[in-house]
Chains A and B, each alone.
Chain A
Amino acid sequence: MTVAIQPRQDPVARETLIELRGLRIAYGDVVAVDGVDLTIGAGEILGLAGESGSGKTTIANGVMQILRPPAHILDGQILFRGDDLTAKNAEELRKFRWRNVSMVFQSAMNALNPVMRVGDQFVDMMRAHERISKRDALLRAGELLDLVGIDQRRVRAYPHELSGGMRQRVIIAMALALEPELMIMDEPTTALDVVVQREILQQVRDLQAEMGFAVLFITHDLSLLFEFAHRVAIMYAGEVVEEGPGLVLRDAARHPYTQGLIRSFPPLTGPLERLTGIAGAPPDLASPPAGCRFHPRCPYCVDESSTLHTLQTTVRPALRAVAPDHRVACHLVEQQG
């Protein structure tokens, strides 16, 4: 049975769930997120792609308000339905977390308590948020496991009795327990095999269609996002450099970094030719390059005499729309119009 890849419906009248305005977060002196504007609409899957050091996990932690010192918010706002999250006190945040927004961490399957049965961990979590009897909580746990494709009887299992993929699904079930409006998934399938990854993503997509929650999907695997997400934002060195519908980026990415990333994936079908990838390595955030942060690695930043080059090396490009739903931060793209 085949499933057509949905032409991503344009989410015209989507209510904005999360809005980041000019967000800047630093670890001590090092700025990891430097002026990010991003929105996530209700029921939308937003993919956030970037390599290590791009700041994507920091943003996730920021939205969940679980940043711990030395991480702190330097500037900007994180709005949930218009409410500024940074202004909330600890008690309000506690209620907010998991109920409105939940998170599936990287290698979360290792976050399960090894000496507690899976069902009991559900009970723990649910009773922390609502008044519910242990029996009801266990019943609900069973339902949730079934929802993610695990036999209900596994409620009595210990984590080590489950495979990595199953544990990850347990974590996802826990994240869905309180029916949040947004689920953040930070590299949820990176440590898993490709078949298990496919199973989990298939599951999440089915659940999302059924329950209508939004997803912030963070990964370095761009090809996953093109298949899975409605919109994709590309991060590099703490900034968003391109943003738009997944299929638009796949076919017509404008930013040289996005193009380079796409060229870094060897194709499974079609002609086989030598790929060039992207030269160099991600920058040290303690002292990022001046101007456009990608310029040392950019194939379009070579002609030292041109005014473009001066721009690229001194002025940080801003995100500008090249199409109604497609924004790029690049001097060259601006010049080309």
Chain B
Amino acid sequence: MSVSISAPLEVRGLTKYFPAGTNLPGRPTSSVHAVDDVTFALRPGTVTALVGESGSGKSTVARLLLRLYDPTAGTILHDGANVTSERGKKALLAYRSQVQMIFQDPFGSLNPVKTVRHHLARPLRIHGLAHGDDVEARVLALLHQVGLNPPEKYADKYPHELSGGQRQRVAIARALAVEPKVLIADEPTSMLDVSIRIGILNLMVDLKQDHELAMLYVTHDLASARYVADTVLVMYAGQIVEQGPAERVLQSPLHPYTQLLLSSVPDPSAHERERIEIHKGLAAAAIDPKPGCRFVDRCPLRIEVCSHITPELVAARPGQSARCHVTAPSPQIREEIHVDSTH
């Protein structure tokens, strides 16, 4: 008999609209549906990959989870408790001691006029995790933990004196300083040299195992998602269009968009490649979306109903769901299609 343990971080129906295009009095005339009805849970000791192109909303999801924005709708559950509208300083601080982030740009996420020591000591002081001489000891221990040895040498350095990989390790050390339960990594390796990326990815995997962290790995790189993730969520135009175990989603995808992504990744060991259709329109920005599937303009599988009814996330296989009328139709849709086709 299993006891259900509440996930350290969970979101239900998370939604964020940004106003766009204002008319004369300054009132927004339309809104961008950056994140629309996103639901998932992060489990300890696992990496969940959030995959999508730029504009898909994945970075917005990360920032919503960090409480850098307030959601338009939906709930954020921290250890089972609803914290969506919690604004109190103490509550927010408690949240921040549990949920941390690594940013995409290793240089941008470090203050150029502050030393490494400052970056690591501040979280310790803010959350009262160390005092006096203890702080220095902790700082050095953190540097050691992320592989920056000898730690004393790195503590005094400024960001511009470090290489990209080293900076990202400092960023990881900073995130670990408060001993969080949840770690969100927003494209942590996309701005690093290729030979450095694996080191950072390996470090993330080790940390996940050693500290039982619940990690969210936001990326557009499917191959690295496969390398580190246990679960994969695919986002398109603000919605999750497919989710499931990493191997399953990446080897036998349900949603045509996932299929498109997989066809596009360079894979030198392949002998043949699918030719893809050039998308002549503008990029998919979900501005005031009409009902219907948002991928319909680019989808090779589209049928009549796709332009009218927004598909729901349906589990077409155990543990794997997709938002597609064709490959993962909901029971009602299946009836409708069946009914249609018999006419």
On A, residues with C-beta under 8 Å from B are: 1-5, 51-52, 149-151, 161-166, 193-199, 202-203, 220-224, 226-227, 250, 260-261, 263-270, 272, 274-278, 281-282
Contact of B278 among A199, A274, A278 (CB under 8 A): A199
A124 to B6, CA, bound (A): 63
Chain B contacts with A in 70-117, Cβ cutoff 8 A:
none
B28 CB to nearest A CB, Å: 19
A51 to B262, CA, bound (A): 25
Interface residues on B, range: 35 or more
A201 CB to nearest B CB, Å: 9
A158 CB to nearest B CB, Å: 13
In the bound complex, do residue A223 and residue B283 qualify as a contact, i.e. CB atoms below 8 Å apart? no
Interfacial chain A residues near B22, Cβ < 8 Å: none
3 closest Cβ contacts across the A-B interface? Answer: A277-B198, A226-B268, A266-B227
**B299 proximal to A (CB < 8 A):** no
Interfacial chain B residues near A263, Cβ < 8 Å: 198
A177 to B264, CA, bound (A): 27
B 217-258 to A, binary, CB cutoff 8 A, 1 in contact else 0 = 000111110110000000000000000000000110000000
In the bound complex, do residue A278 and residue B273 qualify as a contact, i.e. CB atoms below 8 Å apart? no
A7 CB to nearest B CB, Å: 10
A35 CB to nearest B CB, Å: 23
Interfacial chain A residues near B165, Cβ < 8 Å: 281
In the bound complex, do residue A221 and residue B276 qualify as a contact, i.e. CB atoms below 8 Å apart? no
In the bound complex, do residue B271 and residue A269 qualify as a contact, i.e. CB atoms below 8 Å apart? no
A185 to B222, CA, bound (A): 24
Chain B contacts with A in 251-282, Cβ cutoff 8 A:
251, 260-276, 278-280, 282
In the bound complex, do residue B267 and residue A151 qualify as a contact, i.e. CB atoms below 8 Å apart? no
A203 to B227, CA, bound (A): 30
**B335 proximal to A (CB < 8 A):** no
Contact of B271 among A4, A266, A277, A278 (CB under 8 A): A4
In the bound complex, do residue B271 and residue A276 qualify as a contact, i.e. CB atoms below 8 Å apart? no
B260 CB to nearest A CB, Å: 6
CB contact under 8 A between A51 and B267, given known A2-B275, A268-B222: no
In the bound complex, do residue A282 and residue B193 qualify as a contact, i.e. CB atoms below 8 Å apart? yes
Contact of B282 among A163, A278, A281 (CB under 8 A): A163
In the bound complex, do residue B195 and residue A2 qualify as a contact, i.e. CB atoms below 8 Å apart? no
In the bound complex, do residue B199 and residue A277 qualify as a contact, i.e. CB atoms below 8 Å apart? yes
Interfacial chain A residues near B269, Cβ < 8 Å: 250, 267, 269-270
B90 CB to nearest A CB, Å: 41
A56 to B32, CA, bound (A): 40
Chain B contacts with A in 153-168, Cβ cutoff 8 A:
163-166
Interfacial chain B residues near A161, Cβ < 8 Å: 282
Interfacial chain A residues near B271, Cβ < 8 Å: 4-5
In the bound complex, do residue B283 and residue A268 qualify as a contact, i.e. CB atoms below 8 Å apart? no
In the bound complex, do residue A260 and residue B282 qualify as a contact, i.e. CB atoms below 8 Å apart? no
Q: List 9 additional contacts besides A195-B276, A197-B264, A268-B267; criterion CB under 8 Å.
A: A5-B270, A149-B278, A202-B278, A220-B193, A250-B269, A266-B227, A267-B226, A268-B226, A282-B163
CB contact under 8 A between A266 and B268, given known A220-B193, A281-B166: no
A275 CB to nearest B CB, Å: 5
In the bound complex, do residue A227 and residue B273 qualify as a contact, i.e. CB atoms below 8 Å apart? yes
A336 to B314, CA, bound (A): 58
In the bound complex, do residue B223 and residue A267 qualify as a contact, i.e. CB atoms below 8 Å apart? yes
In the bound complex, do residue B276 and residue A227 qualify as a contact, i.e. CB atoms below 8 Å apart? no
B206 CB to nearest A CB, Å: 10
